[in-house]
A and B are shown apart, each in its own frame.
Chain A
Amino acid sequence: MKRRKFDLAATPGKAAVGVDDRFQVATPLRRLLNKVFPDHWSFLLGEIALFSFIVLLLTGVFLTFFFEPAMTEVVYDGSYAPLQGTPMSAAYASSLDISFDVRGGLVMRQMHHWSALLFMAAIVVHMLRVFFTGAFRKPRETNWIIGSLLFWVGFLAGFTGYSLPDDGLSGTGLRIASAIMLSIPVIGSWLTSSIFGGEFPGTIIISRFFIAHVLLIPGLLVALISVHLGLVFKQKHTQWPGPGRTNGNVVGERMFPRYALKQGGFFMVVFGVIALMGGLFQINPIWLFGPYEAWVVSAASQPDWYVMFLDGSTRLMPAWEIPIPIGDGYVIPPLFWPTVVLPGILVGLSTMYPFLEARHLKDRKSHNLLQRPRDVPARTAVGAMAVSFYVVLTLSGANDVIADKFQISLNAMTWAGRIGLLVVPPLAYYITYRLCLGLQQHDREVLAHGVETGIIRRLPDGRFVEVHQPLSSANGHADGHGELEYVGWVVPKKMNRLGALGPAVRGFFYPIEKPVEAPVSPGHPPVEARPEREEIGSGESRR
């Protein structure tokens, strides 16, 4: 018998047939490979959060191999000389060991911390993108709610995480957290005592925070992120209006290969940036803070940036204590309002916003096209108001540092924050609203009269006029050009956006190719179709 030759080239094909025989995946896989994603730089912000979360999981698992979540008192005998012989908790000692006695432990710890900060920052910026472009509208309200919850769960992950080393700074944060729980009316002392296992600090809180930080909260995050991505996949991504783009289609690239390749590259870039930060920028040098001692604190004790707004609200709160004269008398401490009630309101308002807006506008339609912020002045202004509120609070969270560095009275900073919190947001609303209207007006002006050329012409009667380059041909209009309708997307406002200057010639020292002919409209996909667009430009002015 002839021996069958082993054909290496046919192996992948055979294996694929074998897999498909068993699982029937060819068609679903094709659908996945073919799925179309619209592309825009602002759609990548959420990815930064996802990628930093992956880095968090990787570095976090490494840290658990060396961290000891116990408050047992030990005497430090590691290699960091200044603390040798100091009594401290096992958690702090093992955190010092990760920093000094585990090879490469410090770079992992710092990468973990930096990626946590990046995770939260990316969530916030992504959320702003979604808000200001109206991507949260029907049918995507669920994903907006999940996104807002992700911020708060991430917040908890961050807080439980930076409390674990049990150093001087994080212990102070923990003490404040216990005071916040204590301030809740009626159940405060029971809640605190139950969580801390007795009076603050007790001996169990680090172990409890540890299991929350490495199992419960990440589990919740993974679940929420999976649903979040699954919904993006199922509902398909929103897109900007533009040529050929309608509410009923997705214009972009198929997922494979180019889109997926770009995503993979972007992941590596995010990972690389985190590695650089973790190595080059010191963060949370716990060995300088010493172990937590209830009687030691230093000025400029700030939490991580995403907690600072709550620190700020706490600092700005006037000392309004509410006594309740029943029986022996009860009290609602001032701490309760800025740290429990305010976050509660913020969670409620932010998660409910899509429904509030839809109700206000009586809008029940599905929207897959994004809106430019300028086209919805009221929403943009509300967003600016929220951002300014948050910024005032965050700055107030560092008001002692600002007062110190700029030689301002500390009390003046506090008062500035109190007044600013009431005055700045309405101001931001008004200014943003006017800016939006101004931008809208300019868009319409360019569409009607053309782009400014910078060419001044003197007329025979002595007048000077600027020559405008019309965007459309005459079409029988008296003034020589037709008026275009606004379609909800960027209006070219400079000559080179019209291609008058042509694109840049590529090549660092000398051109590597013949300069191409200037296209009619660079930056736009060259699709000529101009079908009916029912949803484009649903600006308020036309509602």
Chain B
Amino acid sequence: MSTHTEHQAQQGREPLDVNTPGLTRFDIVREGARRDDIEIVHYEPQVQPGTKAERRLTRVVAGFFLITGLAATAFLAIYIWWPWQYEPGRGGDKFYTPLLGATLGVALLAVGFGILTWGKKLLPKEVSIQDRHEGAVDADGRTITGQTMLYMADELGVKRRPLLGISLLAGLAPVAAVVAAPLVGGLISQPHKNNQMFTTGFAPAEGGERIRLVREDGRPVRPADISSGGQLTVFPGIEHGVSNRHADSPTLLIHLRDSDAQDSRRANEKIGHGDYMWGNYAAFSKICTHAGCPASLFEQQTNRLLCPCHQSQFLITDNARPVFGPASRRLPQLPIEVDSEGFFVAKSDYTETVGPDFWERP
């Protein structure tokens, strides 16, 4: 048998009259396929009706569906009766989600496997060949459609009456802008309002009053609160200072050991920041100059501050210069001193831009 020649042969074949008496249902199916240029060249039952194999497969599929029913029922029972509310220390609730997932998963997998077995093992295997009809370009069709469109253009007369086209375009252009205007106009927001990109919560209050450095709970910080080699995250002591509203303000206050403090002071003097430290204390912005993550891993031994997001490393004793990783700019230093009540205050705001870099930063 040569299926291909047979296939070729039927291009010009007469369609079968499907009302012919005596046709089987498969004959009609095959005729339908042929009308769609499909030739069923191989159609073979995988199991013979009434055999042991068929009964076995039927049992397997039915078994799968039964498992589905059981698992779905179990899901419902667990959903309704299992203790689900979180209570610290009791623990029964922690099995709620796994049990739901397991029962639902088993139910769905079983119905899936049941259907797959049904389809793959019980239905006849077949090989059909369908023509793609791709190579044969419908040249007439192209000509007709092309000419129709050109005819439409002719009728519209854009060529003869150019003013129509031009005026339509000229009219539509502002309409496009009208569509864009509310979107752009509504969303756009001036980034330099109140100079917000260059100031932080440590900017002195209106009366020139210096801002205190406070802890996360709002208490001000005394020098004695941090032991030598220690560090503390501090915030501006203003309203909402300890919140995301001042996401640029978190600062790391570090109590350096004597020798490190000397190095640090010397480095400070080199860039004209001689009075930024107070005693052995130095304060650096915690917001990484690379992508804005909090650079929060301080390694006491090497005086390096590591940002856990992209591994930029800053050498604290050298003005927090970036020594490794993708950051290109040092962490700004906050000039600090101690006020008359013995609490840390910021002498002024940061003198360099805090946070990730941007085009107009310098």
Tell me which of A199, A249, A280, A526 contacts B131 (CB under 8 A). A249
- A527-B291 contact, Cβ under 8 Å, with A293-B244, A513-B52: no
Q: Give the docked Cα–Cα distance between A337 and B129 (Å).
A: 51
Q: Are A335 and B119 in contact (CB under 8 A)?
A: no
By the criterion of a CB under 8 Å from any partner CB, how many residues of chain B are at the interface?
102
Q: Are A295 and B56 in contact (CB under 8 A)?
A: no
Residues of A within 8 A of B91 (CB): none
Q: Are B250 and A295 in contact (CB under 8 A)?
A: yes
Q: Are B311 and A189 in contact (CB under 8 A)?
A: no
Q: Give the docked Cα–Cα distance between A273 and B110 (Å).
A: 11
Q: Are B188 and A194 in contact (CB under 8 A)?
A: yes
Q: Mark B105-130, 1 if CB is under 8 A from A, else 0.
A: 11111111111101110011011111
Residues facing A in B181-219 (CB within 8 A) are 187-193, 196-197
Segment of A10-18, A178-186, A383-391, A432-440 engaged in the interface with chain B: A178-186
Segment of B168-176, B342-350, B352-360 engaged in the interface with chain A: B352-360
User: Whose C-beta in chain A lies nearest to the C-beta of B8?
Assistant: A531
Tell me which of A34, A299, A316 contacts B33 (CB under 8 A). A34
Q: Give the docked Cα–Cα distance between A408 and B309 (Å).
A: 18
- A318-B326 contact, Cβ under 8 Å, with A249-B131, A250-B130, A335-B291: yes
User: Chain B's nearest CB lies how many Å from the CB of A323?
Assistant: 7
User: Whose C-beta in chain B lies nearest to the C-beta of A329?
Assistant: B362
Tell me which of B4, B40, B191 contacts A190 (CB under 8 A). B191
Q: Are B292 and A271 in contact (CB under 8 A)?
A: no
Q: Give the docked Cα–Cα distance between A48 and B15 (Å).
A: 40
Q: Are A320 and B196 in contact (CB under 8 A)?
A: no
User: Chain B's nearest CB lies how many Å from the CB of A192?
Assistant: 7
- A335-B244 contact, Cβ under 8 Å, with A194-B187, A262-B116, A279-B105: no
Tell me which of A81, A254, A273 contacts B109 (CB under 8 A). A273
Q: Mark B78-108, 1 if CB is under 8 A from A, else 0.
A: 0100001111100000001111111011111
Tell me which of B53, B104, B312 contacts A513 (CB under 8 A). B53
Q: Are B293 and A175 in contact (CB under 8 A)?
A: yes
Q: Are B291 and A175 in contact (CB under 8 A)?
A: yes
Q: Give the docked Cα–Cα distance between A190 and B360 (Å).
A: 11
Q: Give the docked Cα–Cα distance between A139 and B193 (Å).
A: 53
Q: Are B292 and A179 in contact (CB under 8 A)?
A: yes
Residues of B within 8 A of A187 (CB): 359
Q: Are A275 and B196 in contact (CB under 8 A)?
A: no
Q: Are B102 and A269 in contact (CB under 8 A)?
A: no
By the criterion of a CB under 8 Å from any partner CB, how many residues of chain A are at the interface?
121
Tell me which of B51, B110, B233, B309 contacts A301 (CB under 8 A). B309
The answer to the question of A422 belonging to the interface, with a C-beta cut-off of 8 Å to chain B, is no
Q: Are B326 and A276 in contact (CB under 8 A)?
A: no
User: Chain A's nearest CB lies how many Å from the CB of B30?
Assistant: 10
Tell me which of B102, B246, B327, B360 contacts A330 (CB under 8 A). B360
Q: Are A261 and B308 in contact (CB under 8 A)?
A: no
User: Whose C-beta in chain B lies nearest to the C-beta of A187?
Assistant: B359
Residues facing A in B23-48 (CB within 8 A) are 32-33, 35-36, 38, 40-42
The answer to the question of B132 belonging to the interface, with a C-beta cut-off of 8 Å to chain A, is yes
Residues of A within 8 A of B100 (CB): 104, 107, 279
- A331-B292 contact, Cβ under 8 Å, with A79-B86, A249-B132, A254-B126: no
User: Chain A's nearest CB lies how many Å from the CB of B328?
Assistant: 4
Q: Mark A110-140, 1 if CB is under 8 A from B, else 0.
A: 1100000000000000000000000000010
Q: Mark B292-322, 1 if CB is under 8 A from A, else 0.
A: 1110110000000000111110000000001
The answer to the question of B155 belonging to the interface, with a C-beta cut-off of 8 Å to chain A, is no
User: Chain A's nearest CB lies how many Å from the CB of B92?
Assistant: 14
Q: Are A297 and B309 in contact (CB under 8 A)?
A: yes
Residues of A within 8 A of B1 (CB): 528
The answer to the question of A258 belonging to the interface, with a C-beta cut-off of 8 Å to chain B, is yes
Q: Give the docked Cα–Cα distance between A126 and B106 (Å).
A: 26
User: Chain B's nearest CB lies how many Å from the CB of A128?
Assistant: 25
Residues of A within 8 A of B351 (CB): none
Residue positions of A touching B, CB distance < 8 A = 30-31, 34-36, 73, 79-82, 100-101, 103-104, 106-107, 110-111, 139, 171-172, 175-176, 178-180, 182-190, 192-201, 235-236, 244, 247-254, 257-258, 261-262, 264-280, 292-301, 311, 314-321, 323, 328-335, 338, 366, 368, 399-400, 410-411, 414, 512-513, 525-529, 531
Known contacts A192-B358, A193-B191; 9 further A-B pairs (Cβ under 8 A): A185-B359, A199-B248, A236-B132, A250-B129, A250-B130, A262-B116, A271-B108, A297-B296, A317-B326
Could you give 7 example pairs across A and B, Cβ below 8 Å? A180-B291, A184-B359, A253-B127, A258-B123, A264-B115, A272-B109, A513-B52
Residue positions of B touching A, CB distance < 8 A = 1-4, 32-33, 35-36, 38, 40-42, 51-53, 56, 79, 84-88, 96-102, 104-116, 118-120, 123-124, 126-132, 134-135, 187-193, 196-197, 233, 235, 243-244, 246-248, 250, 286-287, 290-294, 296-297, 308-312, 322, 324-329, 355-362
